[in-house]
Amino acid sequence: SGHDSATHMALLTPIASDAECPSDTCLLSSLSEDTLHAIADTLLALDICALSSTCVRTSEVLRTLLVAKRRLAAIRSSEELGALPGTRSLGLHPTYKIQSAAVQSFAAAVARVLRTSDTLTELRIGFNNIDSTATAVIANALSFNRSLRVLDIKYNPLGDQGGAALGEALKGNTALTSLNLAGCPAIHPPTQRRRLRYANERSAPGSTRECIGAMGGRAIGDALRTNTTLTSLNLYQNDIGCQGGIAIGEALAVNTTLTCLNLARNRIEGEAARRVAAAVLASRTLQIFSNVPIQALREERVSKLTLASKHLGDSGAVVLAGLVACFKEHNKYGSITGAYLGLEELDLDKNSIGTTGAIAISEALKLKRGRLHRLSLCQNAIGDLGAAAFGEAIRINTTLFTLHISGNAISDTGAAAISEALKLAS
């Protein structure tokens, strides 16, 4: 709109310093399209992070333009990096979401990298608003790739179709060792999730349309039956539910490579939680399950374990109960067949543990094995049934000295059960 280069630089100066904009330079929305493009290109060339500056905030047009240009630059860089010989790691983590049309272009660029590169070993494309359609494009290319070892696609709205496509890709892929699908849907990035109150923890993690859901969980479970390379799988907060959890649990019975599995915050409850836990404990290769250090416990390397706010749920609690309940023994070959009995302190606060998990832990305490003397289960959801179960355990167990169960929706009925147990125990 007639601004010369001097005015152009005058506009850039307060943006670069993030100072308050003079009143006569705050009307960026009145600039011509060519001038806005020139300003955006200059900001990008100078590597100025001006999206939070006062001037840019006054112009939604310039802000949107900057975001779009950064995304397009990321897409171009993905193509260029993929074509460079010897490229081993590619990470694209743009800060803002893009429109659906740009997502497909982004996915196509990533797919071209996967199809053409024989040296790329790590691909990290989290927080890119990749939907189910885009995921299918990437998954199809992944089926043919023979070099990629690590794929991090966390915090993207993959959807159940996207989860199914990735499961199908895993059946044919013979190179990938680590797959991170954590945090779908991408509506609660880590800094925001930390602000959520515990009351929301046991509710749905977000829009189920964006999660891989039970359908994706079943597809990945089917893939684990035949896949022989994947060692680490992170499905945190994907709403796979009981059906998806059972499918993955059944796959563990035949899988011989997976060492690390995260199913936290997936609403696996009741009988499904017990079946998953049984499969985890029976696995010969699994070392870590939803932040529970199975191998470290069995190898007597942990006496105090803090797992507060890890979203273990009932499945994680039942696994821990199995480890606490087991005793250590040796078979005729001299190998240890039981679990660690040296755990002394266990903190499970804020883990969305319900009645199923509470009953499993209390049953383990009744067996009077191990040396656990302090247990904290504050701010879970064990309720009156869980409290009654712990009351029965207190009467029998002789090692537990401290039990914290505040914030568990325990009424007078549950409190009375604990009180009576303490009278008899004393």
> Strand 89-91 and strand 122-124: pairing?
parallel
Instruction: Give the Cα separation of 276 and 253 in Å (integer).
Output: 10
Dihedral sign (CA 90, 96, 100, 101): negative
Written as one string, the DSSP assignment of 231-282 is: -EEE--S---HHHHHHHHHHHHTT--S--EEE--SS---HHHHHHHHHHHHH
66 falls within a domain: no
Same domain? For 261 and 321 the reply is no
Domain at 317, CATH number? 3.80.10.10
41 falls within a domain: no
10 falls within a domain: no
pLDDT digits (tens, 9 = 90+) for 109-153: 888 889 988 888 999 888 878 899 999 999 999 999 999 999 999
Same domain? For 316 and 399 the reply is yes
The last residue of a domain, from among 264, 290, 316:
290
Same domain? For 285 and 307 the reply is no
pTM for this prediction: 0.77
Number of domains present in the structure of the chain: 2
396 falls within a domain: yes
Same domain? For 234 and 346 the reply is no
Same domain? For 219 and 152 the reply is yes
Same domain? For 306 and 277 the reply is no
53 falls within a domain: no
Instruction: Give the Cα separation of 170 and 288 in Å (integer).
Output: 21
Backbone φ and ψ for 403, nearest 5 degrees, come out as -135, 120
Backbone φ and ψ for 398, nearest 5 degrees, come out as -115, 0
Same domain? For 304 and 283 the reply is no
Same domain? For 236 and 363 the reply is no
Taking residue 102's Cβ as centre, other Cβ atoms within 10 Å add up to 18
198 falls within a domain: no
Same domain? For 139 and 181 the reply is yes
Same domain? For 269 and 312 the reply is no
Inter-CA distances, 206 with 89, 210, 238, 346, 393, Å: 31, 8, 9, 30, 37
pLDDT digits (tens, 9 = 90+) for 154-191: 999 999 999 999 999 999 999 999 999 998 754 444 44
Same domain? For 277 and 352 the reply is no
The residue segments making up the domain with residue 400 are 300-328+339-425
Position with higher pLDDT, 93 vs 111: 111
pLDDT digits (tens, 9 = 90+) for 334-381: 444 444 457 899 999 999 999 999 999 999 999 877 788 999 999 999
pLDDT digits (tens, 9 = 90+) for 248-305: 999 999 999 999 999 999 999 999 999 999 999 999 999 999 999 999 988 888 889 9
Same domain? For 285 and 368 the reply is no
